[in-house]
Amino acid sequence: MKKRIVTGIKPTGDIHLGNYIGAIKPALELAKDEEYQASYFVADYHALTKMPEPGELPQLTNGIAAAWLAFGLDPNQSILYRQSDVPEIFELNWILACITSKGLMNRAHAYKGIVDHNRQVGKEVDSGVNMGIFTYPILMAADILMLKTDVVPVGKDQIQHVEIARDLAESFNHHYGETFVLPQFQVQEETAVLPGLDGRKMSKSYHNTIPLFEEPKKLQKRINQIKTDSLPPEAPKNPDESTIFTLYKEFASTEQVEAMRARYEGGIGWGQAKKELFEVMNNYLEEPREKYNELMASPQKLDEVLVMGAEKARAVSVPFLKEIKQKMGFSL
Ligand code: TRP
């Protein structure tokens, strides 16, 4: 039997290059592998922890779904769905909540990070924390366990969440008998952290991102904002410490990368390096951008794909939830 891979992206803002390189690209490679059955979803209920404005969510959700498709996810071969279209996940969420110790959630790093920050600035420890944020890892465990997932491709910051899912699966199995598959995380080491415009990790919270589907002119402007040092053009430069080069590597061919490396060592002006980064990036993104725009202009078509995906996910989740409840003693 094929191994199941599942991963989700939260629709909380415009999707950026870091999301693509760190999550979408490696996940698409796995989806092509015959060994795997891939299920990719838009974690729209997870986005509720940030209380989106009324009507904001559909557009953001469609944006993530369109991005998967624009980069070549085949919805007939893989399963693409909205989390909120699979209600069994939320029933399982409660079941898992009841086997999760509160202490485990206290130690989950996203929550702990907020608490530590609040302490530092002298605020009440739980300031700004809603129960969605606190129990976020439980819903994520439900996403993973509901589909009998073997492998979860994630960024480094999500490893702990997959470990929590595994712990909860083990506790349940121990108490009610073998039920859940124990999931494993998979991190794409080399590309897990993409630098942003200021050289720090590309992240929405640092406001240093490059949106994926921006028009070429804006993309160029953005690339021109990448921070560089004040070395003169002819000075040799270290490609491995350059944000421009790190980004270039993701979009250029092996030969182009080798040639660029040599030019760094021989001296290249930052302006020229940026120009060439723009060219390879724009070239790479042109086709997906067109496809993305097309999909965003026909939300009905997107909806059809997502509804079909949810049906396929539910072909697993409906009977499996029954089995889970039976194990717990519910009469069905
Ligand atoms: N928490 C993930 C993130 O913020 C998104 C997510 C939700 C997820 N459910 C998931 C990822 C299940 C993998 C599997 O990036």
Does residue 16 belong to any structural domain of this protein? Answer: yes
For residue 25, how far is the Cα from the chain centroid?
A: 10
Shared domain for 282 and 316, answered yes or no, is no
* Residue 27 pLDDT grade (very low, low, confident, very high; cuts 50, 70, 90): very high
- The answer to whether 12 is a known ligand-binding residue is yes
Q: Which two structure tokens, joined as six digits, stand for 18?
A: 């870091």
8 ligand 1 Cβ < 6 A? yes
Does residue 202 belong to any structural domain of this protein? Answer: no
Shared domain for 70 and 165, answered yes or no, is yes
Shared domain for 68 and 175, answered yes or no, is yes
Does residue 130 belong to any structural domain of this protein? Answer: no
The CATH number for 184's domain is 3.40.50.620
The DSSP string of 203-252 is -GGGT---BTT--HHHHHHHHHTS------TTS---GGG-HHHHHHHHHS
Does residue 107 belong to any structural domain of this protein? Answer: no
Q: Which residues contact 108 (CB under 8 A, 6 or more apart)?
A: 136, 137, 160, 161, 164
Average pLDDT, integer, range 128-155? 96
Shared domain for 178 and 314, answered yes or no, is yes
Shared domain for 306 and 218, answered yes or no, is no
- Cα 117 to Cα 113, 124, 134, 263, 277: the distances in Å are 6, 10, 15, 44, 37
- Cα 105 to Cα 7, 49, 131, 180, 301: the distances in Å are 21, 15, 11, 21, 39
23 ligand 1 Cβ < 6 A? no
Measured CA to CA, the distance from residue 110 to residue 153 in angstroms comes to: 19
Write the pLDDT tens digit of every residue in 261-319.
999 999 999 999 999 999 999 999 999 999 999 999 999 999 999 999 999 999 999 99
15 ligand 1 Cβ < 6 A? no
Atom index in ligand 1 nearest the CA of residue 10 equals 5
Does residue 75 belong to any structural domain of this protein? Answer: yes
The answer to whether the predicted template modeling score (pTM) of the entire model surpasses 0.85 is yes
**Amino acid 191: pLDDT:** 55
In this structure, of 23-27, 40-44, 302-306, the range with the lowest mean pLDDT score is: 23-27
**Amino acid 189: pLDDT:** 65
Shared domain for 160 and 305, answered yes or no, is yes
Ligand 1 centroid–CA 239 distance in Å is 33
Ligand 1 centroid–CA 163 distance in Å is 12
Shared domain for 86 and 36, answered yes or no, is yes
Beta bridge partners of 211: 16
Does residue 56 belong to any structural domain of this protein? Answer: yes
Ligand 1 centroid–CA 171 distance in Å is 21
Tell me how far apart the terminal alpha carbons of the chain are, to the nearest angstrom.
28
Shared domain for 66 and 23, answered yes or no, is yes
- Which one is predicted more confidently, 1 or 278? 278
Q: Which residues contact 247 (CB under 8 A, 6 or more apart)?
A: 17, 194, 195, 226, 277, 281
**Amino acid 125: pLDDT:** 97
Shared domain for 9 and 90, answered yes or no, is yes
% of the chain exceeding 70 in pLDDT = 98
% of the chain exceeding 90 in pLDDT = 82
Write the pLDDT tens digit of every residue in 165-220.
999 999 999 999 999 999 999 987 655 578 899 988 888 888 899 999 999 999 99
Write the pLDDT tens digit of every residue in 224-259.
999 888 889 998 999 998 999 999 999 999 999 999
Shared domain for 18 and 49, answered yes or no, is yes
Please determine, for residue 21, whether its predicted confidence score (pLDDT) is greater than 90.
no
Shared domain for 152 and 283, answered yes or no, is no
- The answer to whether 204 is a known ligand-binding residue is yes
Closest CA to 301 of 46, 75, 87: 75
Shared domain for 78 and 189, answered yes or no, is yes
Number of structural domains in the chain? 2
Ligand 1 centroid–CA 122 distance in Å is 30
Measured CA to CA, the distance from residue 188 to residue 158 in angstroms comes to: 12
- The answer to whether 112 is a known ligand-binding residue is no
Beta bridge partners of 16: 211
Does residue 186 belong to any structural domain of this protein? Answer: yes
**Amino acid 19: pLDDT:** 85
Does residue 277 belong to any structural domain of this protein? Answer: yes
**Amino acid 190: pLDDT:** 56
User: What is the domain range of residue 241?
Assistant: 213-292
The DSSP string of 36-65 is EEEEEEE-TTGGGGG-PPTTHHHHHHHHHH
